[in-house]
Amino acid sequence: MPSISNSSPKILVSGANGFIGTWIVRVLLKRGYSVRAAVRNEAKGKPLLEAYRSYGDKLQLWVVGDIGKDGAFDEAVQGVDGIIHAASPINVTVAEPKEIIQPAVKGVVGMLTSAFKHGSSVQRIVFTSSCAAILPLSVESVTVSEMNWNEASIIECDEKGKDASRLSKYSASKTLAEKAAWDFYEKHKSEVNWDISVINPPWVFGPVIHDVTTVDTLNSSCKRWYDALAKGDFGGYSPLTSPGHGWADVRDVAEAHVRALEVPAAGSERIIICAGSFVWQDWLDVANSMSPYPWPSNTLAIGTPGAIQRAITFDTSKEKEILGIKFKTMEELTRDTLADYERRGW
């Protein structure tokens, strides 16, 4: 199936005002694309329009309301060449697993259904999944790839219901939403002109350009990063072992989404986007080793220097072969993010 080939392409981005979505919009606009930014309501989109007003009518807001409603994207998909579906519920404080699973599944199926019925001009759909759909955590050293699926979280949610862990509820929602996307595509691929590409990032950190006014309004991954570096708060776990997962800079994740639109070989592929493995102590060590001091108005936590244990390694050979991202380093991410905090007076 073709990647985006129109000489003046227009891309629909859902979740366009979110942490990752706003960066995706920036990359697209800088590449010369026109962007239809799908937002829940006009107020959510105003900061986006203000941030990118220099692009004029290259950026268009499109209010879709509740993305869980049938037909929410029916009009939004019309006349676009590609879609990046980055919107997804991230509430991890739900009681019953279905409270997060159902909206996640319905959101992606709703987008694909709208594209199936009304997206005659669409050539490719890029869907934001997560490495939580591959493996959420591990206490033993393990290497995983796109061949792995996080079935354990689904099983835990089925067996324990509201007593399942927050992480399992979230991970099950990501796993089942991605499975639903692949199932829909396999069922209808002979009837459509588009294909799909799925991006699986792990923990995503980096500078914030969406509408955030205080530390407490940071998205969940950035808030955890802030708490670790500013407060030495590691969620009750040792910084030498927790969270034992992978990381990526939000700017690289955004770049990966756009390349997945452009590179023909990305079609029908599930692609892990990961710069490396980490525990919180890694970030503390990097930040505290910087000169000049990267956060003049604050004092960085030190943590517990010692023997670091990184459990999960993500096999990123597919990403290297297809997309070829040159990932930003921990030093670059840390320096730029702390400089952002300094500018904000945090």
How does pLDDT run across 237-268, given as a tens digit for each residue? 999 999 999 999 999 999 999 999 999 999 99
How does pLDDT run across 293-335, given as a tens digit for each residue? 999 999 999 999 888 999 999 999 999 999 999 999 999 999 9
Tokens of 319: 């990403």
Active site residue 223: no
Which of the residues 174, 187, 223, 318 is marked catalytic?
A: 174
CA-based R_g, the chain, Å: 20
Report which residue type is found at 13: V
For residues 166 and 100, the answer to whether their CB atoms sit within 8 Å is no
What domains are there in the chain, each with its CATH number? 10-344 (3.40.50.720)
Query: What Cα–Cα distance (Å) separates residue 265 from each residue in 31, 184, 191, 197, 319?
Result: 20, 20, 20, 9, 11
Tokens of 67: 């993305």
Stretch 332-341: mean pLDDT: 97
| Separation CA 322–CA 269 (nearest Å) | 9
